[in-house]
């Protein structure tokens, strides 16, 4: 069976614009993971990034850091997360991608992690602090064996040579970070970011690209969708999920309202 990420991008019309949401597993409630995922699927979200809480999330802004802290306080662990995902596996049709830092994954064991991903219906992973050499030499051979996609990030600082190298050596999609800063909502993308989007567009990469970091309103969403296959929203949705005490349906109502205004 083809990987769900590849399938998603291959089977839709070329001009389809995707929307992916991130949330941190175990926040605001320990047991809410399955409900949040199934609600998002029901509401038409194309694929979901499930955050693995970690005590030192370097690339994340205060919103996601705080969510991770809360999730750990609530007792979320990688084993618990896999058990929750396994419980809903048969009901989930859209791709699930685990997003987390290298430390908890190494602690769990890379081979064991990939095996658990398959057993719980996960299609890929994003590991922001995974060095590219380690990806190629250690992680990729194992992930390939389990038909999992390891999604790599690029930023405005990533050289063209490096971007082409990532494009040739990865599969699924490329996560295009809108800025070199940490995660967090922004009102608009400035000229420098727009120029970066255009520059990457002009490279005609093999993989589809999704733009993330800073998308929270109609302006930033449209800008991301005009310059890539779609947008990834994290901090804004995490905030709304907290504000509604884990009511994913209400959080999505508020998100769609914000994205349309």
The catalytic site residues sit at 49, 60
CB neighbour burial string for 128-151, b if at least 16 within 10 angstroms, e if fewer? bebeeeebeeebbebbeebbbbbb
Structural contact between residues 109 and 81, judged by C-beta atoms closer than 8 angstroms: no
Within the chain, where are the H helices? 4-11, 33-42, 62-74, 78-88, 102-108, 110-119, 132-134, 140-145, 160-169, 191-201, 218-227, 235-243, 248-260
∠ CA(24), CA(237), CA(2), 5° rounding?
Answer: 65
How far apart CA 229 and CA 210 sit, in angstroms, is: 6
Within 120-159, where are the H helices? 132-134, 140-145
């Amino acid at each position: 069976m083809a990987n769900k990420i590849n399938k998603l991008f291959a089977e839709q019309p070329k001009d389809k614009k995707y929307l992916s949401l991130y949330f941190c597993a175990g926040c605001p409630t320990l047991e809410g993971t399955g409900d949040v995922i199934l609600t998002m699927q029901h509401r038409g979200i194309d694929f979901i990034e499930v955050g693995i809480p970690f005590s030192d999330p370097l690339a994340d802004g205060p919103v996601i850091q705080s969510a991770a802290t809360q999730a750990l306080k609530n007792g979320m662990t990688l084993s618990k997360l896999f058990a929750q995902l396994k419980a809903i596996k048969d009901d989930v049709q859209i791709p699930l991608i685990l997003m987390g830092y290298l430390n908890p994954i190494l602690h769990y064991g890379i081979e064991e992690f990939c095996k658990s991903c398959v057993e719980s219906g996960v299609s890929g992973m994003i590991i922001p602090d995974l060095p590219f050499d380690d990806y190629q030499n250690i992680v990729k051979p194992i992930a390939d064996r389990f038909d999992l996609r390891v999604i790599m990030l690029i930023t405005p600082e990533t050289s063209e040579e490096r971007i082409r190298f990532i494009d040739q050596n990865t599969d699924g999609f490329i996560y295009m970070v809108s800025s070199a800063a940490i995660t967090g909502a922004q009102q608009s993308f400035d000229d420098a970011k727009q120029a970066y989007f255009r520059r990457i567009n002009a490279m005609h990469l093999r993989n589809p690209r999704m733009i993330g970091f800073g998308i929270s309103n109609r302006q930033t969403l449209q800008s991301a969708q005009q310059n890539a296959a779609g947008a990834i929203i994290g901090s804004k949705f995490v905030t709304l999920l907290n504000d509604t005490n884990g009511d994913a349906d209400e959080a999505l109502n508020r998100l769609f309202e914000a994205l349309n205004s």
